[in-house]
Amino acid sequence: MKKFFITTSPIFFTMILVVFGVRYFQGNFLLGAFIVELGLAGGVQSTYNSIRSESDKLSGADKVILVLCTFPLLVNSVFFLLVSLNFLSKMLE
């Protein structure tokens, strides 16, 4: 169980960055979206590295849980990237 919490700690760090980005930068959308995107991308990459490095030590159930936790982060990361690019393109028009 200790290994599971060590490998999922990037997810909690990502959640903190996402909440920070959404909560404190509501006035400056682009900066807030950038912080959220940074947190999500970091969380996905860290979790992927954890799965790769710990794959021989983790059980099958732990791997499934990690993948299920990572998939929404990946979807949200793509969503925030698209929203940020859309906002930026409207600003530049």
Position 82 confidence tier, pLDDT thresholds 50, 70, 90: confident
The predicted pLDDT at position 75 comes to 72
Give the dihedral sign, CA 56/61/62/67.
positive
DSSP 14-41: HHHHHHHHHHHTSSSHHHHHHHHHHHHH
Mean pLDDT, rounded, for 48-56: 67
Tell me the whole-structure pTM to 2 decimals.
Answer: 0.40
- Between the alpha carbon of residue 74 and those of residues 11, 56, 57, 71, the distances in Å are 11, 24, 24, 5
Indicate whether 22 pLDDT > 60.
yes
Would you kindly state where each structural domain of the chain is located, as residue ranges? 2-92
Indicate whether 36 pLDDT > 60.
yes
